[in-house]
Amino acid sequence: MITLHDYVLSANCYKVRLLLAQLNLKFESVDVDFHPGREHKGAAFRRLNPMGHIPVLVDEDFVIRDAHAILIYLARRYDDGATWYPIDDAHRLGSTAQWMNFADATASTLSAARLVVNLGYDLDLDAARTGGHETLRVLDEHLWFGEREGRAWLVDGDRPTLGDLTVFPDVVLAEEGEIDLLDYPAVRRWLDRVKQWPRFVVMPGVFPFGTG
């Protein structure tokens, strides 16, 4: 039995829900009152995760925290073909890790802007937006050339990886931080491609591809 300690509006929790759906895994979601209750900072939650953040995944007796760590665990444990985390191919594995780090970098830009606008966090909004646009320019250029070179995903190869899955949430939600995607047409097309994954799931703020 898999349990996800979850918050509906968290992009990091969404990453885990996306992969659980891709791997066709059943799970139980436990709502953590992240906002406004700050339950993740409470004593009860800290017994589960002393770092006091979400998501936390519990698989039978195994407790693991941090979205990317959870994703690597799930991919190794349940993805038989090792497509999401391609351990059998050094180049693709390295590139996957590179884009997962890129997704971490968007936490201080795209995600930060969203937290300021949505939840009133005390962060530097101008810096977050400027950094967000720089990030999106890099992403748009990579994806635009990918289209010319026959590469649909962030990492070479026919299948998407955890690179796409981890970069997607902050980017698709960027406009909630008032970082307009108008200037990034290749990014918008890639968002459409991700939304066409079989078993793709939405979160509030994310529309499905087509009428869903």
Partner 1 sequence: MSVAAWSLNTSDRCTNPAILNRWHPVAPSHAVEAGESHFTVLLGVEIVCRLNPAGEPEVRLRRDPATCVPAIVDYGCVWVCLGEPTEALFTIEEAGEPDRRIVHAGTIGVNVSAPRAVENFLDMAHFPYVHTGILGVEPYTDVNDYQVHVDPVTNDVWATDCEFWQPMAATTSTTGQMTDYLYRVPHPFNVILYKTTPVDAQRMDVIALFCQPVGPDRIIAHPFLCLLDDENTTASIRAFQLRIFAQDKPILENQLPKCLPLDPRAERPIRADRAAITYRRWLSDLGVTYGVIPA
Partner 2 sequence: MWYPIADHHDVIPRHTARTSLHGQELVVWRADDGNVNVWENRCLHRGVRLSIGVNDGAELVCRYHAWRYANRSGGCTYIPAHPRDAPARTAACSTFPVAERHGLVWSTLAGGDDASEPPSIEQLGNDAFVLRARPVRAPADVVLGLLEELNWAPFGSDDTADAAVERTRVPGGVAAVASERGVEERIIFFVQPVDSSRCVVRPVRSGEPTDSVAALRHHATILADVVERAERIQSARPAAPTAETPVAIPTAPPRPERLRVRIERKWATAEKIAAFDLVEADGGNLPTFLPGDHIDLHLPNGLIRQYSITNGPGETAHYRIGVKRDPASTGGSAYLHDRAKTGDVLKISAPRNRFALRRNVPSTILIAGGIGITPILAMAQALDRAGLDVAVHSFVSSEGEVAFRDVLDRLGPVVHRYVGLDPDGTAGVLKHVLTSPDPGVQVAACGPPPMLDAIQTIADAAGWDEDAVSFEYFQTGDIDRSSSFTVELARSARTVKVTAGTSVLDAIRAEGLDLDSSCERGACGTCALPVLDGEVDHHDVFLSPAERAAGATILTCVSRAASNRLVLDL
Tell me which residues touch partner 2 (CB under 8 A): 141, 144-145, 147-149, 181-183, 185, 188-189, 192, 207, 210-211
The closest alpha carbon to 96, from 22, 147, 164, belongs to 164
Distance, in Å, from the CA atom of 35 to the CA atom of 38, rounded to the nearest integer, reads 6
Distance, in Å, from the CA atom of 212 to the CA atom of 209, rounded to the nearest integer, reads 6
Long-range contacts of 144-152 (CB under 8 A, 24+ apart): 144/186, 146/186, 147/186, 147/189, 152/190, 152/193
| Sheet of 2-6, strand order | 28-31, 2-6, 56-59, 62-65
Return the one option of partner 2, partner 1, none that residue 148 interacts with (CB less than 5 to 8 A, by type).
partner 2
| CB 134, min distance to partner 2, A | 12
Return the one option of partner 2, partner 1, none that residue 151 interacts with (CB less than 5 to 8 A, by type).
none
Distance, in Å, from the CA atom of 140 to the CA atom of 183, rounded to the nearest integer, reads 9
Residues 39-98, interacting with partner 1 (CB under 8 A): 39
CA atoms within 13 A on the CB side of 109: 17
String of contacts with partner 1 for each residue 5-34, x by CB under 8 A: --xxx---------------------xxx-
Return the one option of partner 2, partner 1, none that residue 122 interacts with (CB less than 5 to 8 A, by type).
partner 1
| CB 192, min distance to partner 1, A | 15
Would you say 97 or 201 has its CB closer to partner 2?
201
Tokens, residue 56: 């936390």
The percent helix, strand, coil of the chain (3-state, each to 5) is 55, 10, 40
Residue 205 interacts with partner 1 (CB under 8 A)? yes
Stretch that binds partner 1, among 89-97, 139-147, 182-190, 199-207 (CB under 8 A): 199-207
Stretch that binds partner 1, among 12-20, 100-108, 147-155, 173-181 (CB under 8 A): 173-181
String of contacts with partner 1 for each residue 109-148, x by CB under 8 A: -------xxxxxxxxxx-----------------------
